[in-house]
Structure 1
Amino acid sequence: MKMRIAMLLAAVAMPASAFAQAAAPAQTTAATVLEDFKPSSLNQPGQEFPQVNSQGYARFRIVAPDAKAVKVSLGLGGRGGTVLTKAADGSWVGTSEGPLDEGFHYYHLTIDGGTFNDPGALNFYGSTRWESGVEIPAHDADFYALKNVPHGNVAQVLFPSPSTGTQRRAFVYTPPGYDRNQRERYPVLYLQHGWGEDETAWANQGRANLIMDNLIAAGATRPFIIVMTYGMTNDVKPGAPGGLASFDIKPFQTVLLNELIPYIDGNFRTLTDQKHRAMAGLSMGGFETKLIAPKNLDKFGYIGLFSGGTVSVDDVNNTPGYRDKVKLTFVSFGSRELEGGRTGPPGGPKVDPRANAAGLKAAGINSVFYVSPDTAHEFQTWRRSLKEFAPLLFRD
């Protein structure tokens, strides 16, 4: 099982840097960069930098008068980078070499060889550490915008985990109106983060609660609970991708099935049958979903893989009960992940998830395949995936 999970995770995680694409393929020359820069929406209060413009460029300014070299590394793991230039006032300034994909991006600073976060930006847990974040305005940002609509709550819960000998943490989204009608019960989606992230990712970087609030307000989805917990239970050393080889799904499966689900059902007003419970995740969380949900179809009726692998007809045929018990198989990717039509680890076997989804449909399986336009292995892909996935759930 350890080798299997390592191979599966490698298919999308690759190095940790693959989690976020730093720049779109098309580059724009410096002469055409528009000077309509504004502070990023993810800046610390009162901070002017980093800034973003209408073309998707990001501009940085770091005050480090005694530094010899400053670079901004965009994307988990610091793939790529923007070298800053020292100004007369001792600050370091620079603009990304090209426009970035719409949506959220991690980044950090390298100052004279040391790794630091930008004091002007908010921090988000990714790449097994807290990283700075910058938000490139998206043309479709309305679906995750903070609006004047009824809002649900995201609450931290601590639940006992005898299998790990700890108290573990989860965040639970309850929809608007949950506290008012004490007799109503709700379906539950267990939603997992990616490699190097934690249980804060979906509400912070992913804006899952705002996506749900807006969908519910528009009447586009049935209200349901979302549970987000940490998907790593092993002492996997952060950093090098080789740490994936020591990851074992079994301890997390025990936490999820034997500890977290009973806690949620015992402390929240849930509908506890299989047809009212779903599991989904991004990247590593998608692979966790693929390894756990099909083998526990008495507990999960809906399966969602966001940049986290694919489901084939062979997978269905090799899983007893899949045809009868799974109400929906949802698979999604960013369009940049599917350039050439196939995806998979570097140097490894490639698969065509679109063909797999079509094969499921032809076999009579309720299969939905979604591609996020002009995005890669990054949160804008997964925000859009949740927006597409949620209205398909619990349609009874």
Structure 2
Amino acid sequence: MRKLVHLCCLLMLGGYQCYAQNNNAGSATSNMANTAGVPAATNIRQAKSPVILPNNRVMFSIKAPDAKKLQIDLGKKYDMQKDSSGVWTVTTDSIGEGFHYYSLLIDGVAVADPASESFYGMGRMASGIEIPFSGGGYYAEKDVPHGDVRIKKYYSAKAKAWRRVFIYTPPGYDFKTGEKFPVLYILHGGGEDERGWANQGKTDVILDNLIAEKKAKPMLVVMPDANFSGAGFSEDYLLAVEAEIKESIIPFIEKNYHTKNDALHRALAGLSMGGLNTLYTGIKNNNMFSYLGVFSSGWIMPMQDKIASAQYDYLKKNQLQVNTNLKKFWIAMGGKEDIAYNNCQAMLAKLKELNINYTYYEYPGGHTWPVWRNNLYHFAPLLFQ
């Protein structure tokens, strides 16, 4: 165990090198030079591994001579092989385009790869890899007017603490004197926080491009922290997020930013756990939000039977009001491989039975950020029209 801790410390301190950076890596360096791949855009500066090959397979290389077993965990675990100089390598299967979390497993212990940028996901700091996207470049940085992502502190009455919120403001926000903007409030998934949509989600790039192409209205996008410790997926947790949004976040935004402060100019959306928050808060507060976006979510059965039944009872009694107030109730899934797919389909069947209007959309890719980026890209143009 002492050796394992020592090895982990060395790695976290940069005590290993990607083999292309190591003068003693020998044949491994030669192999890297002979590949047709390129370092991932998410690598730290000058790191040569991981390398993305033309078919979206990924080559990883790590120098860790004292490790007994190394693996790369990209949802699927890949065993790495060690050469005589202590360099471990592996090449993965083809990986889907877009952003993916991954971990380096050192003798079974998951750590962030020091050669890659780290992101808060899976309830901890994890490595992330960006696979180049060839589907139109809607989250590629382009020569268009750019908005800002601002980080602000506000006092949370529910948490009784100061919290951060990330806020996207559209291009020219500070110079459009007297103009007020609609607001999309968007929530992260479980194990993530207010950084998720700004960093992993590329919200600013997606909105910049949509606004430049006049496909979406200029809007603010508010990305809060929806975590409350010890609450899990219980109704107490859902109530806490509802209170946070209504009592702290919306008042803070509407006091400090140029916003249109009515239901027709407010939207609420979220992915996975954030989708549950959107269902719970958005449907019964349909007098506050005219647009709801639920990404990769649906009531968790049987865990949330009681919560779901109460919401369906509300919808049955208020069907006309909900259909009138919600200009768009947009539900999206990452195809059948999405872990929330069955829960979502059960919910859709119930909504259909209750004659609740909704729009359903699928984009293959499972329960991952490539899917949620695509969801935002298709949802944002529907807002505030």
**What TM-score do you get using the length of structure 2 for normalisation?**
0.82
Match of 1:253, SS state, is helix
TM-superposed deviation, 1:89 = 2.5
Q: Please state if 1:106 is matched with 2:96.
A: no
1:286 aligns to what?
275
Q: Please state if 1:370 is matched with 2:370.
A: no
TM-superposed deviation, 1:315 = 6.9
Q: Please state if 1:334 is matched with 2:322.
A: no
1:20 aligns to what?
none
Pick from 376, 379, 383 the counterpart of residue 389 of structure 1. 379
Pick from 231, 252, 260 the counterpart of residue 226 of structure 2. 231
TM-superposed deviation, 1:244 = 4.0
1:157 aligns to what?
152
Question: In structure 2, what is the Cα distance between the partners aligned to 1:56 and 1:130?
Answer: 24
Larger Rg: 2
TM-superposed deviation, 1:187 = 0.3
Pick from 265, 286, 303 the counterpart of residue 254 of structure 2. 265
Q: Which stretch shifts more, 254-263 or 85-94?
A: 85-94
TM-superposed deviation, 1:182 = 1.9
Q: How many residues align?
A: 341
For structure 1, the 5+ residue unaligned runs are 1-33, 237-242
For structure 2, the 5+ residue unaligned runs are 1-33, 300-307
2:37 aligns to what?
37
Report sequence identity in percent. 36
Q: 1:319 to 1:337 in 2, by over 3 A?
A: farther
TM-superposed deviation, 1:68 = 1.1
1:307 aligns to what?
296
Task: Tell me which amino acid in the other structure corresponds to 1:266.
Answer: K
What does the per-residue CA deviation read over 1:135-167, in whole Å, with 9 as the maximum and x for residues that have no partner?
122221500001111100000011111232101
Contact conserved, 1:54 with 1:137, CA < 8 A, in 2?
A: no
Match of 2:133, SS state, is coil
Contact conserved, 1:343 with 1:352, CA < 8 A, in 2?
A: no
Question: In structure 2, what is the Cα distance between the partners aligned to 1:261 and 1:313?
Answer: 26
Q: Please state if 1:252 is matched with 2:241.
A: yes
Contact conserved, 2:333 with 2:341, CA < 8 A, in 1?
A: no
Question: In structure 2, what is the Cα distance between the partners aligned to 1:195 and 1:319?
Answer: 30
Question: In structure 2, what is the Cα distance between the partners aligned to 1:213 and 1:168?
Answer: 26
Pick from 116, 140, 148 the counterpart of residue 145 of structure 1. 140
2:14 aligns to what?
none
1:22 aligns to what?
none
What does the per-residue CA deviation read over 1:165-184, in whole Å, with 9 as the maximum and x for residues that have no partner?
10111000000010111210
Match of 1:213, SS state, is helix
Contact conserved, 1:313 with 1:363, CA < 8 A, in 2?
A: no
Question: In structure 1, what is the Cα distance between the partners aligned to 2:211 and 2:132?
Answer: 23
Contact conserved, 1:280 with 1:286, CA < 8 A, in 2?
A: yes
Q: Which stretch shifts more, 245-254 or 126-135?
A: 245-254
Match of 1:344, SS state, is helix
TM-superposed deviation, 1:245 = 5.2
TM-superposed deviation, 1:317 = 3.0
Match of 1:252, SS state, is helix
Q: 1:100 to 1:336 in 2, by over 3 A?
A: farther
Q: Please state if 1:166 is matched with 2:161.
A: yes
Q: 1:289 to 1:246 in 2, by over 3 A?
A: closer
Contact conserved, 2:118 with 2:125, CA < 8 A, in 1?
A: yes
Contact conserved, 1:175 with 1:224, CA < 8 A, in 2?
A: yes
Q: Please state if 1:86 is matched with 2:79.
A: no
Question: In structure 1, what is the Cα distance between the partners aligned to 2:370 and 2:87?
Answer: 31
TM-superposed deviation, 1:313 = 8.8
Question: In structure 1, what is the Cα distance between the partners aligned to 2:288 and 2:260?
Answer: 11
The RMSD of aligned alpha carbons is 2.5
Contact conserved, 2:297 with 2:341, CA < 8 A, in 1?
A: no
Q: 1:175 to 1:350 in 2, by over 3 A?
A: closer
2:22 aligns to what?
none
2:28 aligns to what?
none
